[in-house]
Every structure is written in C-alpha cells, then in structure tokens.
Amino acid sequence: MRLSCDPNEILWYAMSSPFRREMKAKALLDAHHIENFIPMKKMQEIRDGEIVTWEEPAIHNFIFVHDSYNGIMKVKKGLDILQFILNPLSPIVVPQRQMDDFIRLYESDGYDEPEFLTPQTMGQLRKNARVVIGDGPLAGISGYYQRVKGAKDKRFIVLIEGLIAMACSVECKFVKVK
C-alpha cells in the first residue's frame, strides 16, 4: 500500500468493516477517541402488533475515520474489523469540504430523511450543474440538483466522489447555480 499524503496528517479516510461489523469498529474507534462517522437510517417493523423503530447503517461495511494514517494503524494493528478502502493502491482520502457537507446534510432535520446512493446507483445519475444551497438550514452546502431514478421531484445530492451520495428534497427557492 502506498500513501499519497503525510502519514501524520489528520484526514478523513474511507474504510471498510467486513461482515457487517461496522458498529464494532465504531465502538473500537470511540474507545480510542478517534472521530468517525457511519451514516445511519431509521428502520421500522411491526412485531407482535407494535411498531418497533431502530437505526442501522445506511450502507453496511462502511465507515469514515478522521485521524492520521499512523493513528489508525496503531488502533487497527492485528484487527481485521477495520480495513482501508484502496484506490487502486493507496487509501481513499475524502476531502474535508465534501465530508463536512455530507455530515451536515445528514444531520439536518429540516428536510426529509436522506436517501443514500451506492456507487452502482450513482452511475445512473445524469450529471447536472453544481449548485449551492443559498438559504435555510443547509446554507452553503454544495452539490448537484437533479432527478433521481424513481423520485417524482428533483433532489439535492451531496456526493463523495466514487463512494457514496446522499439525496434529499430541497425547495427550489434555496438552490443557486454555482
């Protein structure tokens, strides 16, 4: 594996936690006070006549970790529950701005629950002009405003290149072409 950056620089790394062990990986990182992010989605099911609600990872086996390469290696040494996602031979580093926008959109509660798009579904999206949310709780977030297959209206999409995208409904009056 080759590093394309300083191993002591704190960056966002896209990582994998095989066999749906992302919550164990999160607990390990939390115990070592390493910032991490797993996009979660709400699930509901009727059990014994009652509605049960819980959260689970929106995309399994996937976790973003914010630390230095050396710091992550100290924690994951000898463990197979946390692996770097490589592109093709170096770990994928997510730019700070993309990660900030992604987390901010995810944590905003002013809009519908976001829809997560995998690399396979992202390939079906048509590239439109980049836009910025000009007002409201998501002011300043940049992304795309376009139609998503199966949706009636256009959606605002925040993209982490080649990994994941999140789409949500945003009123047209808030969207400004970049």
In a domain, 6, yes or no: no
Q: Specify the pLDDT at position 25.
A: 95
Q: Specify the pLDDT at position 169.
A: 82
d(CA 176, CA 67) in angstroms, rounded, equals 33
Q: Do both 16 and 88 map to the same domain? A: yes
Last residue of a domain, one of 75, 94, 113: 94
Nearest one of 165, 175, 172 to 58, comparing CA atoms: 165
A 10 A CB-CB count for 41 gives 14
CA triple 133-136-140, angle to 5 deg: 35
d(CA 86, CA 1) in angstroms, rounded, equals 8
Count of domains for the chain: 2
Last residue of a domain, one of 54, 73, 94: 94
Nearest one of 138, 107, 125 to 165, comparing CA atoms: 125
Nearest one of 89, 148, 91, 147 to 116, comparing CA atoms: 148
Q: Specify the pLDDT at position 161.
A: 83
Q: Specify the pLDDT at position 123.
A: 61
Which amino acid is located at 72 in the chain?
I
Q: What is the tens place of the pLDDT at every residue in 4-54?
A: 889 999 999 999 999 999 999 999 999 999 999 999 988 999 999 999 999
Domain ranges, residue 157: 100-177
In a domain, 5, yes or no: no
d(CA 159, CA 101) in angstroms, rounded, equals 9
Encode the chain (178 residues) as per-residue pLDDT tens digits: 788 889 999 999 999 999 999 999 999 999 999 999 999 988 999 999 999 999 999 889 999 999 999 999 999 988 889 999 998 889 999 999 999 999 998 888 655 667 777 766 666 665 666 888 888 788 889 988 787 777 777 788 898 988 888 888 877 677 777 6
Q: Do both 71 and 105 map to the same domain? A: no
Q: Specify the pLDDT at position 103.
A: 93
Helix (H, G, I), strand (E, B) or coil at 155: strand
Give residue for tokens 């009727």. Answer: 46
Q: Do both 74 and 140 map to the same domain? A: no
Nearest one of 70, 73, 85 to 17, comparing CA atoms: 85
